[in-house]
Structure formats: structure tokens, C-alpha cells
């Protein structure tokens, strides 16, 4: 049974699912429908949100090789895989997915930060206030059953990147923390500098 999380709530993945090894992280969002101008002739530019995962050791990012995103789809350990870039956010369900093989993750990594940024947000004058129905959900890869979902409900106007949540190892147990923190970072690289 899926648990609906609130901001700041933590859940133990290991306790809920004995033997859990493969987690699918699904991220989704919809654009707020904008008026289309005089007689609907002008179309607003699509918002291209990009999901990413940062692999941290003791809270720190060692280098760009530990960032999994549309430009680096598979971590060199093989434990984290980005399933590809969705350029528009159109359609139902997950817009982007990241697969995490917990049993393959090298021991030095204790935290996986999951975030989303808006591609070229400043240049396109876009921000998360133009997005609605954003969520992150974790699915047990063995049977595709949803373990938890966190719907972001705050107003994130002016924010161009978002820390959705993190999967982390604590006392040998895997947990998930629902965060939902917006930032004004303009790129994945800029966001990643927070962890150097």
C-alpha cells in the first residue's frame, strides 16, 4: 500500500519492503495552462524540466561523474540509470524516471539527492510557479507497486530548480526523505555546487 508523504516526512524503505533492491523513482509535473494570446495564435514555449540524481559520500559530491542526468544516463557503478529526457512534461504519469539498484550501489555512497531543474529557465523566463501537480514517487522494481508518493503543493514562483527528495542509507537501512525545497539555480551544475 502506498504512503502519501508530507513535506519533511521520512519513511524507511528497508522496513517496508524486506529485500528491496530495485527502486524506480518517478517524477512528474504539468505546465499551468497559459492564455494563448490574441485568438490563441501565439504558443508559449514548452517548459523542459530535467530530473537528476546526485550521488553523495558523507554529504559531499566528489565530481561530475556522480551526477546522473540526460547528459550522463548511467552512473559508472551501473547502480543509477536515468531513463531518458522528456522535453515537454506532456501526458499522464511519470515524466521522467530514475532507476536505483540499491544492492549495486558502492558502499561509499550514502545519499542520493533527487532534483529537477528547468532547462534554460532564466533565458526562457520560466519558473516552478508555472508548473502544477509536481510529484515524486518511489516504486518497488520487483513488482511495480508504489511504496510512497510526495505531492509538492507549495507555491514555488521564481524557483528554477527543485530538490524533490533524497534516498539515503542510515544504520544499514535505506530511507526516503520528502524535501520539496526550491532554489534559484539556473542549471544542474549550479545546483550541484551546493554539495561540493
pLDDT 10s digits, 47-69: 889 999 999 999 999 999 999 99
Question: Is pLDDT above 80 for 92?
Answer: no
Helix, strand or coil, per DSSP, at residue 102 = helix
The better pLDDT of the pair 84, 181 is held by 181
The better pLDDT of the pair 192, 153 is held by 192
User: What kind of fold does domain 12-32+45-195 have according to CATH?
Assistant: Lipoxygenase-1 (2.60.60)
What pLDDT shows up at residue 70?
94
What pLDDT shows up at residue 17?
76
For 29, the grid coordinates are 509535473
Question: Is pLDDT above 60 for 152?
Answer: yes
182 in Cβ contact with 156 (< 8 Å)? yes
The Cα 167–Cα 173 span in angstroms is 10
For 21, the grid coordinates are 533492491
Going by the DSSP 8-state scheme, the letter that residue 55 receives in this structure is E
Query: The cell 537528476 sits on which residue?
Result: 52
The Cα 139–Cα 28 span in angstroms is 14
Question: Is pLDDT above 80 for 41?
Answer: no
- The whole-number average pLDDT for the span 176-186 is 95
- The domain ranges of the chain are 12-32+45-195
Question: Is pLDDT above 90 for 35?
Answer: no
82 in Cβ contact with 73 (< 8 Å)? yes
Amino acid at each position: 500500500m502506498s504512503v502519501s508523504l508530507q513535506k519533511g516526512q521520512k519513511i524507511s524503505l528497508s522496513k517496508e519492503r524486506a529485500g528491496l533492491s530495485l527502486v524506480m523513482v518517478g517524477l512528474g509535473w504539468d505546465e499551468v495552462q497559459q492564455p494563448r494570446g490574441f485568438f490563441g495564435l501565439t504558443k508559449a514555449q514548452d517548459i523542459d524540466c530535467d530530473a537528476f540524481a546526485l550521488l553523495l559520500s558523507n554529504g559531499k559530491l566528489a565530481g561530475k561523474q556522480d551526477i546522473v542526468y540526460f547528459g550522463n544516463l548511467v552512473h559508472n557503478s551501473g547502480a543509477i540509470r536515468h531513463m531518458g529526457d522528456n522535453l515537454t512534461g506532456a501526458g499522464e504519469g511519470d515524466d521522467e524516471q530514475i532507476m536505483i539498484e540499491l544492492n549495486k550501489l558502492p558502499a561509499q555512497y550514502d545519499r542520493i539527492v533527487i532534483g529537477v531543474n528547468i532547462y534554460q529557465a532564466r533565458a526562457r523566463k520560466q519558473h516552478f510557479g508555472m508548473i502544477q501537480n509536481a510529484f515524486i514517487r518511489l516504486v518497488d522494481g520487483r513488482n511495480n507497486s508504489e511504496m510512497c508518493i510526495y505531492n509538492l503543493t507549495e507555491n514555488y514562483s521564481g524557483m528554477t530548480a527543485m530538490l524533490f527528495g533524497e534516498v539515503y542509507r542510515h544504520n544499514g537501512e535505506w530511507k526516503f526523505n520528502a524535501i520539496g525545497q526550491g532554489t534559484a539555480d539556473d542549471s544542474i551544475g549550479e545546483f550541484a555546487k551546493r554539495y561540493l
